[in-house]
Amino acid sequence: MNTRLQVEHPVTEMITGQDLVEWQIRVAEGNPLPLTQSQLKIDGHSIEVRIYAEDPANEFLPSTGVIHYLNVPTQSDYVRIDSGVVQGDEISVFYDPMIAKLIVWDQSRDQAIHRMQRALRQFNLGGLKTNIGFLKSLIDHPAFQQGQVSTHFIDDYETSLLFAPPVITAHDFIFAALYLSKESQSRPDAQDPWRVLHGWQLNTPARQHFCFRSQDSVVNIELCYHGDKITVMSGDRLLTLQVEFNGDELVVSGDISERMVAVRSGSEVILFKQGGTVTVTEYVYEAQPSTESSEKHLKA
């Protein structure tokens, strides 16, 4: 008997309800197999995907970095996650870049596909490149859903599977500014108007100004607060929005309506949206060193 576990043993466990690792331990102790093949009952359908730190757009080469943000689906009888990493861990060049196995179960293949689609939408990771977007496009592909799968699947549908990353839109800069505004208000000194950089002025609505990189230019976003409403000035556009935060979830309504998860990763704001994940980079102005010596001089 081959006592080594099959690589995708979670799928077998999900459709049989058996714990194969426990079986291994029992056999190692000299006990017989708990069940024979004929006694096993197969129930439902299970699908497994592997979450990897890799770049599908660059021939699936491994990626490295720190996991600055990690939010995974809630585990249940229908969803299972096998993983050994947590938020804050580093994916280095010294080990396999696999982050997790995500396994789902349901009564039929179609139901299992729908459950995997939901689970992948809830699996958000920031800090390094992963194959999550690729897995979403694979599970969503009509050919996969119809069972037309072979070892040439990726080659046959490469164009539709390996799409370019979502383009950053003008709205994304606004969403990033809204997130940074909320983050600044969560600081310990957020109630001190003399210590926070939110544009506080006497007898006028509070304002905040944010800058972001956009290729070779800088995008400026200004937020002006009027009670529970925010006026957003972006270029020549003027928008009125209402914002609600549910944990990491950002819900925007008004002139723009969208729901997403927003997190910070260093100088970047990562937006996990329905249409894909985009990363917006904050622009920080650097003070220019003075060419004049200020030693023993006071300048005003």
As for how many domains the chain has, the answer is 2
Does 105 map to a domain?
A: yes
In terms of domains, do 201 and 242 share one?
yes
| pLDDT at residue number 184 | 86
Query: For residues 155 and 149, what is the distance between their CA atoms, to the nearest angstrom?
Result: 11
Does 292 map to a domain?
A: no
Question: 152 is in which domain, residue-wise?
Answer: 44-161
Q: Exactly one of 4, 26, 50, 109 is catalytic; which is it? A: 4
What token pair was written down for 195?
Answer: 């210590």
Low-confidence ranges of the chain (pLDDT < 50): 194-198, 203
What token pair was written down for 93?
Answer: 């060049």
Is the Cα torsion angle 20, 22, 26, 28 positive or negative in sign?
A: positive
In terms of domains, do 195 and 227 share one?
yes
| pLDDT at residue number 3 | 64
| pLDDT at residue number 164 | 73
In terms of domains, do 156 and 230 share one?
no
Report yes or no on whether pTM surpasses 0.95. Answer: no
Query: For residues 249 and 178, what is the distance between their CA atoms, to the nearest angstrom?
Result: 12
Query: For residues 62 and 90, what is the distance between their CA atoms, to the nearest angstrom?
Result: 13
Q: Give the rounded distance of the alpha carbon of 214 from its chain centre.
A: 21
| pLDDT at residue number 281 | 95
Does 25 map to a domain?
A: no
Query: For residues 9 and 13, what is the distance between their CA atoms, to the nearest angstrom?
Result: 6
Looking at every residue in the chain, the average pLDDT score rounds to 89
Q: Give the rounded distance of the alpha carbon of 218 from its chain centre.
A: 25
Does 38 map to a domain?
A: no
Whether residue 50 lies in the annotated active site: no
Does 18 map to a domain?
A: no
Is the Cα torsion angle 123, 124, 130, 133 positive or negative in sign?
A: positive
Residue 127 is part of a domain; what is its CATH number? 3.30.470.20
| pLDDT at residue number 221 | 97
In terms of domains, do 226 and 188 share one?
yes
Does 114 map to a domain?
A: yes
